[in-house]
Amino acid sequence: MASDAGPLLRSERLLLRPLTARDDDLGAALLMDAAVMEHIGGAMTQEKFEREMAVATRRCAGGAIGIWCVLDGRTQEKLGTGVLLPLPVEELDTNWDLVAGDELPDAEIEVGYLFKPSAWGKGYATEVCRRLLRFAFEETALTEVVACTSAANAASQNVLRKAGLRDVGLRRAYGGDYPGFRITRAEWLGRRAARA
């Protein structure tokens, strides 16, 4: 499967397309920026960034699992990323070996997002989170999506709650204990029915 094979997703203001190697400009603007990385391990060195970009374009399960480049739907400006990826529990980072093959990985799947600071505060992360949940529950066999944040990342916790995930208290993830969130397919379908 080509590394950029995967679904194109549209939302009200945004376009999500599979991340490719040509998105290293966006990758650098996110992963080597101290403000973006404040709650997720700090700005990467050039060496770590290059290692990260080498795996970040992997996808599996027909492209359903991986990283999307998020663009302004009108101007095509690259704004950030959204992810559906296996959640590392005791490992410190995503186990990219699980992102291979035609099946969904045998792991919990986390939703996540990173935006350039110039794109913060406009509701984009909530829009991406909602769109990825809709994709996960309408177009894949996933029965649950999880997330976790650092305890201090109140903005990200707000995003997850607004998108319908519920707090599950501290849980193991990324080799530590972090605030956890989850939503099941049944819960998501219930919210969709309530909105209709």
Ligand X SMILES: CC(C)(COP(=O)(O)OP(=O)(O)OC[C@H]1O[C@@H](n2cnc3c(N)ncnc32)[C@H](O)[C@@H]1OP(=O)(O)O)[C@@H](O)C(=O)NCCC(=O)NCCS
- In this structure, are strands 66-72 and 78-86 parallel, antiparallel, or unpaired? antiparallel
Ramachandran category for residue 62: left, alpha or beta (phi over 0 → left; psi -120 to 50 → alpha): left
Residue 81 interacting with ligand X (CB under 6 A): no
Residue 143 interacting with ligand X (CB under 6 A): no
Identity of the residue numbered 103: E
Residue 114 interacting with ligand X (CB under 6 A): yes
Residue 64 interacting with ligand X (CB under 6 A): no
Residues touching ligand X: how many (CB under 6 A)? Answer: 21
Residue 42 has a CB neighbour count (10 Å cut-off) of 9
Pick the piece of the chain touching ligand X (CB under 6 A) from 5-13, 44-52, 85-93, 108-116: 108-116
Residues 37-56 that bind ligand X (CB under 6 A): 39-40
Closest CA to 8 of 46, 75, 48, 59: 59
Name the DSSP class of 192. Answer: H
Among 120, 144, 164, 184, binds ligand X (CB under 6 A): 120
Residue 125 interacting with ligand X (CB under 6 A): yes
Residue 15 interacting with ligand X (CB under 6 A): no
Ramachandran category for residue 123: left, alpha or beta (phi over 0 → left; psi -120 to 50 → alpha): left
Which residues in this chain contact ligand X in the complex, by CB under 6 A? 36, 39-40, 112-115, 120-126, 149, 153-156, 158-159
